[in-house]
Amino acid sequence: MKRKLLSVLLAGTMVLSLAACGSSGGSDDASSEGEGGGSEGGDKLVVWTWDPAFNIPAIEEAGKIYKETVNDKFELEVVETLSDDCETKLQTCAESGDFGTMPDIVLMQDNSFQKFVSFYPEAFTDLTDSGINFDDFAEGKLAYSTVDGKNYGVPFDNGAVISCYRTDILEQAGYTIDDLTDIDWNKFIEIGKVVKEKTGKFMLSGQANSQDIIMMMLQSAGASLFNEDGTPNLVGNDALNECIDIYQTMVKEGVFYEVNEWDEYVSSITNEQCAGTINGNWITATVMGMKETSGMWAITNMPKLVETEGATNYSNNGGSSWYVTSNCKNTDLAFDFLAKTFAGSVDLYANILPTTGAIGTYGPAAESDAYQEPQEFWSDQPIFATIVEFAEKTPSNNTSAYYYDVREVVSTAIQDIMTGGDRDTILEQAQADAEFYYQ
């Protein structure tokens, strides 16, 4: 029953996962020509990934470093495959019971993986005893690829949340970036009201039908929409109720601008309707497209919840990890390759940073000169090292195979609450709707 249900749910999951992952999402021009499987062993590995400006250059650089420093016979074949195609092909293999067309290594969106490993655990190789040092990765990021205490993936791109603000707009309202650092949401709303009054700008914007901001708030306190067993936890969830209260207040006070579509969200930033944005750090690519505003931006951490225990100023949104499939004929090679590149090479992360903007979650990379370099666009802040630091401070939280499905249910519920519906009644119905996926 559950496997049949997965095929129905995947289409929505793919769309949502791409929207939440910024530059990791793959382009419309990307191909998915590779129908063959992994290598036949020896010194070769076959990898599926997407995005010729981001993930593909990163894995190719990893292959180059491994060949030059570890194994001069090593071969890496990269098959450009869109994220949703990776997931569709994996599902097809699993449904047929034949993983022979899977690659040796595949990149997957973090929240999508939870669904796949839940339904198809036989598709992936346990990396727990692979020799990879998982202690070098941020706990909050690592949790996405850890199931029942087993490590299945090597974290790659960093989804640590950052607050990006226009320093010139803040200055007009009498504030600096320091005034928005290490604050709570009450203080943020107070500042936002002044900014709106003095500049006419909203502080933030976001899609009303896709509640990224609520999810980021929850994780910042180690809270979530789910219980420890992955079942939905919407009724009587005090952290969720606090997040909804904050969201309602921000919209009511003109601090938060609600939009309907992703393009509208991007436009609200680029058209200078907002003084800033809070999102996964991949949003920097959008911000930096505003070349005329170079030197007028700065980043800091996000506000924290006021009443919820365990509240911090750090969260995560988006990102992906590398997985070894069960079709890999030479797992020792795959393990060693990942251990000495994405889980062991500071040079790799330093080399890909200038060309791809790919910020990893590998802790030691933050000490490299490339990560410590001040960035002119961002008021000469060393933002790359700061982002890794934020990732290391991000709490983990409960997730579920139905993460995107339940998030959509909650987004709809919040819209109903915002139009005047009774919160308790709406959340009770949302709980029932969410539980449908678990039947």
pLDDT 10s digits, 157-180: 888 999 999 999 999 999 999 999
pLDDT score at 36: 57
Mean pLDDT in residue range 56-81: 96
Per DSSP bridges, beta strands 256-259 and 204-207 are parallel
Q: What share of the chain is helix, strand, coil (3-state, %, to 5)?
A: 50, 15, 35
Query: What is the distance between the alpha carbons of residues 85 and 87, in angstroms, rounded to a whole number?
Result: 5
Q: When comparing pLDDT for 218 and 357, which is higher? A: 218
CATH architecture of 161-315+399-438: 3-Layer(aba) Sandwich (3.40)
Q: When comparing pLDDT for 39 and 338, which is higher? A: 338
Domain ranges of the chain: 19-159+319-367, 161-315+399-438
pLDDT surpasses 80 at 117: yes
List, in sequence order, every residue forming a beta bridge with 47; answer none if it has no partner: 78, 105
pLDDT band at 138 (very low <50, low <70, confident <90, very high): confident
Mean pLDDT in residue range 71-88: 92
CA neighbor of 41 nearest in space, from 323, 324, 331, 326: 331
Average pLDDT, the chain: 89
* Chain CA centroid to CA 203, Å: 22
Please give the torsion angle defined by the CA atoms of residues 109, 114, 118 and 123, in that order, rounded to the nearest 10 degrees: 30
pLDDT score at 147: 87
Tokens in use for 231?
A: 């079942």
- Can you point out the beta strands (E) in 161-275? 161-166, 204-207, 256-259
Within 10 A of 135 (CB to CB), how many other CB atoms are there?
A: 8
**Quick check: do 19-159+319-367 and 161-315+399-438 share a fold?**
yes
Please state whether the predicted TM-score (pTM) of the whole model is above 0.85.
Answer: no
**DSSP reduced 3-state for 320:** strand
pLDDT score at 5: 42
User: What pLDDT, in 10s, does the model give residues 218-257?
Assistant: 999 999 999 999 899 999 999 999 999 999 999 999 999 9
pLDDT band at 155 (very low <50, low <70, confident <90, very high): very high
pLDDT score at 153: 95
Written out in words, the top-level CATH class of the domain with range 19-159+319-367 is alpha beta
In eight-state DSSP terms, residue 229 is: T
pLDDT band at 31 (very low <50, low <70, confident <90, very high): very low
CA neighbor of 385 nearest in space, from 404, 370, 402: 370
Query: What is the distance between the alpha carbons of residues 82 and 54, in angstroms, rounded to a whole number?
Result: 13
pLDDT band at 24 (very low <50, low <70, confident <90, very high): very low
Element (H, E) at 409: helix 403-418
